[in-house]
Amino acid sequence: MRNQTATYQQYTMNQLVLPMDFSDLIPENHVARVVNDMVESLDDQLFDEVYKGGGRPAYHPKMMTKILLYGYTQKWFSCRAIAKALTEHLPMMWLAARQTPDFQTINRFRSERLKPLMDTLFSALTHLLIKEGYVDGSSYFLDGTKIEANANKYTFVWKKSVQKYEEKLQLKIDEMLQEIEKQVELDRIQIQQETNAEEKRISSEVLQAVARSVEQELIKRDEQIKETADQKEKQAQKQALKPLRKIYRTLTTDTLPRLRKYETSFRLLGERNSYSKTDPDATFMRMKDDHMKNGQLKAGYNWQIGTQDQFILFYTVHPNPTDTRCLLPHVEALKESGLPLPKTLIADAGYGSESNYVAMADELFETLIPSHTFRQEQKRSFAKKRFHPYNWRYDETDDVYWCPNQRKVSFKRYTKRTDPYGYARDFKVYECESCEGCPFKPECTKARGNRQVHYNPVYEELKAKQHQKLKSEEGRTLYQKRKTDVESVFGHVKQNLGFRRLHLRGKESVHIELGLVALAHNLRKRATVDRRSKELKNTNQHKNRENRIKRFSRFYVLRCFWDSSFLL
């Protein structure tokens, strides 16, 4: 058999190759083109307001925005990775026009320039999505997820611990003041006036004034000792002054710094129960995706987003672990953003509280928010719970419940409860006429006396209105769509985009980073929608062409048959 010579395609690295323009090498529906089109559609004045002018010419803010957004779409959350891609990645080189800002410049733009620009930029791009018909903003699916902060797991500060140690320190300060008063004349009345009357705590400013008084007394006595001629008397005076010196040293080196430290902790905590020393704005929360599956607490933020058709319309960042307290600030921020308000806001049972129901009743849009008992009430097993007041017979005329043993549970009094955040709720208390001798008492109540029912009329009325809307065909359809809309976005961000932990610290910086993540998700989503619509269009065109060929073929066969039969 004859041997054949191997042949290869031409391969020359030193030859000039056309095209020189990178854009010809990038596919039409590539996400880099989507980033370029959306950023170029923004007004330059939006970016000019951030720059003062003067000095060395800066990199163009649109270019910097493009490389940041495209970097986040490619899972490059580090500025070093983005700077490296500027010399290695073809679409990135095209977006930057072959400019190569270093990682420090990119980081300064992200953390400083985008700080006043992020909300405006996000709103402008969301308006663009609405204008181009990707969303209309009529439905707003709200939900939150916890994102782990860029903080050490073991630098926690707990509010209860600070309170405990601060109370012990206050007792120690009170003892020190009593010792000081034996040798120094203190204005106790002024100290009591400057002390917090409600908490009965001495502040660091008051303690600093006491320390100055002790210092002046020590200087005065030191001068008196110097003027004393008798050595024995001088030695006795020095010996008598030692306790006061010791108190002053403890006051300035230990007590006062600790008191300032506790005051700083209280200021950072605010209404929270914890914070991290490495990121004071982060709160310790219980994360679902803990690798040990043991419910470990980690510093994090609560990221609230509103979506439609899996596009993120708006977002906010909160230090609160629960979704309940995030609804009102999120809605207020939405109204201030300039975005069109939705027709219907849909959220899960985590937002169903009396304070939220009352606040949302005054809004211009409808809400679909079930209570935490909505699912249970829909089950058949709930109707079989004989001892639940919802299943008891109620006489509206006499305002009386009838328990399973047919005994009256009558109205007794009104009561009020205030939650830890200051919200007061009014309850009506009903009490059974007599539980003595009732065979159902062990199953009905654990109380020693008669069974009581606490009924919240405001909450129950607002909850019933929400449940009525949720049971309607339109409400049921909308609420079922919530799971596939907003939950899918969190899955995409955490799994597909790989964003599970923050890279910046501080609430303002976290707001910027999560805004970039949200924009990256929207850009990837838009690129996918455009690609699928084009594929569908090509498929339809191909089907139409095949149908035309089939129709023509049938016509040709019939014509041939007609001609042959005519000749015969």
**Across 167-172, average pLDDT:** 92
Tens of pLDDT along 192-244? 555 654 456 888 888 898 888 888 888 888 888 888 777 888 888 788 888 88
Q: What is the pLDDT of residue 332?
A: 94
> CA-based angle 320:326:331, to the nearest 5?
155
Cα dihedral 238, 244, 250, 256, rounded to 10, equals -140
What percentage of the chain has pLDDT greater than the value 70? 90
Taken in order 341, 347, 350, 354, is the CA torsion positive or negative?
positive
Q: What is the pLDDT of residue 198?
A: 47
Tens of pLDDT along 83-118? 999 999 999 999 999 999 999 999 999 998 899 999
What is the value of pTM for the model shown?
A: 0.85
Q: What is the pLDDT of residue 549?
A: 56
As a whole number of angstroms, the distance between CA 168 and CA 165 comes to: 5
CB atoms < 10 A from the CB of 383, how many?
12
pLDDT confidence bin for 44, thresholds 50/70/90: confident
Which residues are CB-contacts of 441 (< 8 A; sequence separation ≥ 6)?
A: 435, 451
> CA-based angle 210:214:218, to the nearest 5?
170
As a whole number of angstroms, the distance between CA 251 and CA 218 comes to: 14
